[in-house]
């Protein structure tokens, strides 16, 4: 199967992607978001039900994201058309008598929506069988779970994934934060391939003899990076005293050349180190350094078909994880597009 630059977005429509923090959408609130170049309206009704739908009102195309919840229904700001939590049109004010046929034709194109891990997730194509990975620490009351503020990267989602998997940039891109005492040489890695992705086990490349004493977050620890395809990556950090942290990064594609990076952190009970707020503040600084690096790279997205003899072929041992991601992602892409084609064929017959 051959791929083009449309292929990743077609496949990702079949997966759950984060679009907002749950705290961004209080009961009775309406907001707008963009996922995979699809403009959405997100609404949480007073009873807690979620609606994710195309933001364009079927009447005149006004943005429903500029509307409001009125008397338990989503109301368009332009002509007052109203919709329920399933997207069904309930009212057309300009009609003296309700017109069932016109209301039926005005049903919003709605999508799957759910809340988990403190985030709102949307799946644009319901035929996909993708489910969110389980991260027990994120739902364990004994662990301190904190959400970081999503950060917009003016770079493609695959570019951000490769950055997050990279083990040799710490001493340079993060020279004043995470990599203050990092060794640029790649440590020995153990890579395990799974059906839904892969896992890397390796020590954080901390210098054994540093010119300054690092803080706990920069000190030697074991890293286990688990990539759940297409774009859900966790890092488990195990420190020498037994303390642990589990982080997740999900670069949710906005356009082909931009993504919103959703992330969170779970800290083990009795963690002997900086308090949660300080750890979040530190992680924001590290992530912003990554953003600068990703936005400075050319092209803004990793090509789905790197050209022979062109960009991306001067690989080193430090690119092992990026190469593993590219290989696994293409295999996942083939499976997803084949499944989508089979579903389309079955529906047509």
- Long-range Cβ contacts of 167-170 (<8 Å, 24+ apart): 167/202, 167/205, 167/318, 167/321, 168/205, 168/316, 168/318, 169/293, 170/204, 170/205
Q: Where are the beta strands (DSSP E) in the chain?
A: 17-21, 29-35, 38-44, 50-54, 68-70, 73-75, 82-83, 89-91, 110-116, 119-123, 144-147, 151-153, 190-194, 197-203, 221-228, 232-239, 244-255, 258-267
What is the model's pTM?
0.93
pLDDT in tens, 199-218: 999 887 665 555 555 677 77
Q: Check pLDDT > 90 for residue 169.
A: no
Mean pLDDT across 191-197: 96
Between residues 166 and 310, the one the model is more confident about: 166
pLDDT in tens, 88-104: 999 999 987 878 888 89
Domains 17-123 and 136-333 alike in fold = no
Which range, of 135-149, 178-192, 318-332, averages the lowest pLDDT?
A: 178-192
Rounded Cα gap, residues 252 and 22, in angstroms: 15
Please give the C-alpha separations between residue 6 and each of 16, 303, 341, in angstroms, as whole numbers. 18, 11, 15
Tell me the pLDDT of the chain averaged across its residues.
91
- Where residue 252 falls among pLDDT bands split at 50, 70, 90? very high
Contacts of 344 (CB under 8 A, 6+ apart): none
Q: Check pLDDT > 50 for residue 309.
A: no
Amino acid 207: pLDDT: 59
Amino acid 167: pLDDT: 78
The gap between the terminal CA atoms of the chain, to the nearest Å, is 23
What one-character DSSP code corresponds to residue 270? T
Of 3.40.50.300, 2.60.40.10, 3.40.630.30, 2.102.10.10, which CATH number belongs to 17-123?
2.102.10.10
- Where residue 313 falls among pLDDT bands split at 50, 70, 90? low
Q: Which tokens is 108 given? A: 């919003």
Of 3.90.380.10, 3.40.50.1010, 3.40.50.150, 2.60.40.60, which CATH number belongs to 136-333?
3.90.380.10
Q: Check pLDDT > 90 for residue 346.
A: no
Q: Where are the domains of the chain?
A: 17-123, 136-333
């Amino acid at each position: 199967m051959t791929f083009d630059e449309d292929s990743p977005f077609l496949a990702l429509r079949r997966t759950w992607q984060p679009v907002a923090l749950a705290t961004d959408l209080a009961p009775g609130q309406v907001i707008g978001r963009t996922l995979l170049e699809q403009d959405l309206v997100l609404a949480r009704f007073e009873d807690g039900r979620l609606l994710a739908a195309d933001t364009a009102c079927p009447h005149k195309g006004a943005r429903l994201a500029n509307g409001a919840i009125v008397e338990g229904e989503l109301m368009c700001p332009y002509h007052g058309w109203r919709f329920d939590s399933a997207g069904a049109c309930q009212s057309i004010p300009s009609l003296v008598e309700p017109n069932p046929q016109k209301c039926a034709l005005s049903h919003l194109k709605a999508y799957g929506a759910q809340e988990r891990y403190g985030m709102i997730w949307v799946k644009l194509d319901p035929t996909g069988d993708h489910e969110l990975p389980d991260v027990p620490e994120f739902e364990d009351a004994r662990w301190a779970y904190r959400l970081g503020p999503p950060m917009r990267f003016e770079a493609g989602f695959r570019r951000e994934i490769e950055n997050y998997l990279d083990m040799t940039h710490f001493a340079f891109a993060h020279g004043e934060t995470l990599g203050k005492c990092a060794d640029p040489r790649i440590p020995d890695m153990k890579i395990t391939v799974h059906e839904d992705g892969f896992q890397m086990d390796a020590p954080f490349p901390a210098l054994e003899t540093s010119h300054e004493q690092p803080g706990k977050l920069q000190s030697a620890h074991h890293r286990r990076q688990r990539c759940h395809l297409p774009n859900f990556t966790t890092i488990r950090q195990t420190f020498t005293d037994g303390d642990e942290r589990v982080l997740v990064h999900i670069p949710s594609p906005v356009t082909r050349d931009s993504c919103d990076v959703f992330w969170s952190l779970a800290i083990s009970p009795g963690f002997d180190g900086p308090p949660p707020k300080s750890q979040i503040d530190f992680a924001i600084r590290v992530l912003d350094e990554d953003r600068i690096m990703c936005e400075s790279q050319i092209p803004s997205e990793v090509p789905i078909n790197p050209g022979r003899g062109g960009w991306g072929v001067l690989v080193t041992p430090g690119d092992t994880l990026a190469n593993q991601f590219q290989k696994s992602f293409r295999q996942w892409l083939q499976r997803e597009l084949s499944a989508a084609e089979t579903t389309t064929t079955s529906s047509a017959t």
